[in-house]
Structure 1
Amino acid sequence: MSRTVVANRVTVGYGGEPVLREVSAMAVPGRVLAVTGPSGAGKTTLLWTLAGLLRPVAGEVSVAGHPLRDLDHAVAEKIVLVPQDNALAAILTAAENVRVALLAGGVAADEAGRRTTTALDRLGLAGQANQLVEELSGGQQQRTAIARGLALHGDVLLADEVTSELDAANRRRVLDLLQEEARRGAAVVFATHDPEAAASCDAELHLVDGRAETVRR
């Protein structure tokens, strides 16, 4: 596993004023990078750009030394995004949401079942596996989305504000799991507004008004 993702002086917008301005960042295998900053600073935009969902108007994102073309290329390079809004299907159960993502990624049915059970258990959701997502609390939905992301076994894991709905115990659980992903060799990028969570990461990129103001390596 060797999937370093580099954003080199990227400027990104949605058709108007740029949301990111000449921002550089690096996701390194075996390390967790925290992306911090106030609401509107560009944290989500940076993660979407690293995931191939947005194309920079200037600068470049590369993965394993090659320019990142689009979302399909990112998926092929095993870049996994856990979005802030969870993106779960409300009419499916927690387990079905995880398993469907694995099957769509080409994982065999038996293996998908095993990974689903393991991932939900790691997030403390074994008892909610067969509950519809619409019946779960906000925190349980967030943990289901994290379980899905972990089950995909990405080389790069992008996690957007994935502890915002969680209590202290589950926040700690998720931070430990992100560190576990890094220890198995994944490059992890974690967008957060929580300074304590950021302090537990290996490095930090702080955004203000779309610019990188401070970097902790």
Structure 2
Amino acid sequence: MIGGSEYMLTMDLTTADLGYGAGDPVLRDVTVTARPGEILAVTGTSGAGKTTLLSALAGLLAPRSGTVTADGSPLGDRDAAVGRGVVLIPQENGLAAILTAAENVSVAVIATGGTPADARRRTADALAAVGLAGQANQLIEELSGGQQQRAAIARGLALRGRVVLADEVTSELDAANRQKVLELLRAEAARGATVVLATHDPEAAAACDRELHLADGTASWTRS
């Protein structure tokens, strides 16, 4: 629910398809509610539809039919979702290679209504949280794959979303940094955010509160 004291995101595609263009649907018959204060894992092999599901929850992909709602009303497109506090940390990071790690974070904070002072403070805090304080002024293209992934996570954390959608955000990380990121996502849930983590990592999924598994175009609850 986005608004009030709780933030819940619901997708009801019980009789609907979710896919791109006119081809076969990627997912069908999906009903899922992501609750405030918890981490929902979305699991499945590569190509199972994890990114597709998160794209719909982020307002990037409209279902062919069915609904995605926040606070009981339609979520809307990506601009509307951003305005309602839905943060997406994409699998491909989405960082600007010609900007520094700090600039990537600060620009996002300012673009969503933060002041320059807010941006400086949140950027420093978020980069420190993911262990990148020393790389704040390095260009993204100068960072390793794991460092880039952590910079994208820092940007997502700095936005302080009511809903945080994290798409395979531990795939490039070693065990220590993976654990740190899972702790940070847990902290987001603890402050009342709704957190959805798409992952193929069984250990990361086990650290979440519930698990929705995608296979053969459908979804089933592993832990509900």
Q: TM-score, normalised by structure 1?
A: 0.98
Paired residues, number: 217
* SS of aligned partner of 2:80: helix
1:11 aligns with 2:35: no
Corresponding residue for 1:117? 124
Over 4 Å off, 4+ runs: none
Q: Which of 213, 217, 220 is the aligned partner of 1:213?
A: 220
1:153 aligns with 2:160: yes
Structure 1 unmatched ranges of 5 or more = none
Query: Could you tell me how far apart the structure 1 residues matched to 2:198 and 2:74 are?
Result: 23
Q: Which moved more, 1:12-21 or 1:112-121?
A: 12-21
* SS of aligned partner of 2:181: helix
For residue 213 of structure 1, report the CA deviation from its aligned partner. 2.9
Query: Could you tell me how far apart the structure 1 residues matched to 2:80 and 2:72 are?
Result: 13
* SS of aligned partner of 1:58: coil
Percent identical across equivalent pairs? 65
Query: Could you tell me how far apart the structure 1 residues matched to 2:186 and 2:223 are?
Result: 17
For residue 57 of structure 1, report the CA deviation from its aligned partner. 0.6
Instruction: Tell me, yes or no, if the aligned pair for 1:40 and 1:209 is still in contact at 8 Å.
Output: no
Query: Could you tell me how far apart the structure 2 residues matched to 1:215 and 1:70 are?
Result: 30
Corresponding residue for 1:23? 30
Corresponding residue for 1:184? 191
The amino acid across from 1:96 in the alignment is: E
**What is the RMSD computed on CA atoms of the aligned residues?**
0.8
Structure 2 unmatched ranges of 5 or more = none
Q: Which of 182, 185, 188 is the aligned partner of 1:175?
A: 182
Instruction: Tell me, yes or no, if the aligned pair for 2:17 and 2:26 is still in contact at 8 Å.
Output: yes
Corresponding residue for 1:163? 170
Q: TM-score, normalised by structure 2?
A: 0.95
Query: Could you tell me how far apart the structure 1 residues matched to 2:190 and 2:165 are?
Result: 15
1:143 aligns with 2:150: yes
Instruction: Tell me, yes or no, if the aligned pair for 1:22 and 1:59 is still in contact at 8 Å.
Output: no
1:101-154 Cα offsets, whole Å, 9 max, x none, are 011111010111000000000000000000000000000000000000000000
Instruction: Tell me, yes or no, if the aligned pair for 1:42 and 1:209 is still in contact at 8 Å.
Output: no
